[in-house]
Amino acid sequence: MAEVGRLASRFLIVLCAFGVILAGCRDTAAGGPAAIPNVGEVRGKLTAVESSSLLDLTLVRVRDAGGSEWEFDGRDYRSLEFTPSHLREHMVTAQDVTVRYRRSGEALAIVEITD
């Protein structure tokens, strides 16, 4: 009988630990603050798209609704959907994009770009 009690208490401990882990994953999946440290988000119109090839971004500039210009380093960003040519199309048609970025010192590195 004591064995059953020990197994039940171990099961509860594991279940609680799993709940804590799951709660942390929910925040991360929802893009919450635990997702990536030093991350921010800017929505606005593209004013510049620079690339070193058809698929490799080097720089993106965005003007937000308040008129502020943001410059993002795109050298580590890879996306088959948001290629430099696709981003230039957004720039020409003045469609807003959202840029999620990671701050690294003074640089803002692109994490994700969405419509």
Those residues whose C-beta lies under 8 Å from the C-beta of residue 113, and which sit 6 or more positions away, are 60, 77, 79, 82, 87, 97, 98, 99, 100
pLDDT higher than 60, residue 19? no
For residue 56, the tally of other CB atoms under 10 A from its CB is: 14
Model confidence at 104, pLDDT cuts 50, 70, 90, reads: confident
pLDDT higher than 50, residue 51? yes
Those residues whose C-beta lies under 8 Å from the C-beta of residue 91, and which sit 6 or more positions away, are 45, 46, 47, 48, 49
Those residues whose C-beta lies under 8 Å from the C-beta of residue 29, and which sit 6 or more positions away, are 35
Model confidence at 49, pLDDT cuts 50, 70, 90, reads: very high
Model confidence at 38, pLDDT cuts 50, 70, 90, reads: confident
Q: What is the pTM of this model?
A: 0.66
